[in-house]
Every structure is written in C-alpha cells, then in structure tokens.
Amino acid sequence: DGGITQSPKYLFRKEGQNVTLSCEQNLNHDAMYWYRQDPGQGLRLIYYSQIVNDFQKGDIAEGYSVSREKKESFPLTVTSAQKNPTAFYLCASSYSGTGTYEQYFGPGTRLTVT
C-alpha cells in the first residue's frame, strides 16, 4: 500500500531533551512537509523540502530542525529550544514542480513534553 507512515503514534519526553519524529513515504513524492496542530488551531507549517538535500523554513521553524537525505524520509527533530513542544505533529507529501501539489498526510505523532 502506498502512503505515509509516522512513528511513533505517541511520544513522551522530559523537558530539555531533543526528540526526533519519523516520517516515511512510498508515494514517490518529491516534496515533504511538517505541520504542527494545537487544540482549536489550524495546522501551521514548520519546515518543507521540495528535493533531497534541500529544505526551507516554514512559518514556525524556531526550535525545530530537519534533514532530507533520502527522497522517502523527512525526520523532524524537536529541540530543547522549542518553548512549547507539546502538540500533534503531522507530516505530508506531494508532487512538486508543475501540477496540483495535492498533499497527502500521515497519521500524526502526538508529542507530550513534561
């Protein structure tokens, strides 16, 4: 089955620790995205990557880092510098270049930092 997988589904960390969220896709999409969702809020873009070895900051990149070493994978690290890391994190992918850029989402990772 083609799709996007995110692991783990739930993640618990102590304040001050870095944590890495996994995102893998087998849709052969060029572009991948990370969003954050808080209760009662719309999704907000953290980072995006349109091609391997290149990525750009989104609207709320502070306290986060990413890498894109493979087309299929776009891990997100939540660093200790992120002031309010507890949230629901969603990864998405799409074709890039010309086209519709229709985005497909993974099931999400709920991160709780105490």
Site of interaction with other proteins (CB under 8 A): 4, 6, 31, 33, 35, 40-45, 48, 50, 56, 58, 90, 92, 94, 96, 100-108, 110
71 versus 80: smaller Cβ distance to other proteins: 71
Helices (H) and strands (E) in the chain, counts: 0, 11
50 versus 73: smaller Cβ distance to other proteins: 50
The identity of residue 44, as a single letter, is R
Dist. CA 3–CA 45, nearest whole Å: 20
**Least distance CB 16 / other proteins (angstroms):** 27
15 versus 100: smaller Cβ distance to other proteins: 100
HSE-CB for 86 with a 13 A CA cutoff: 8
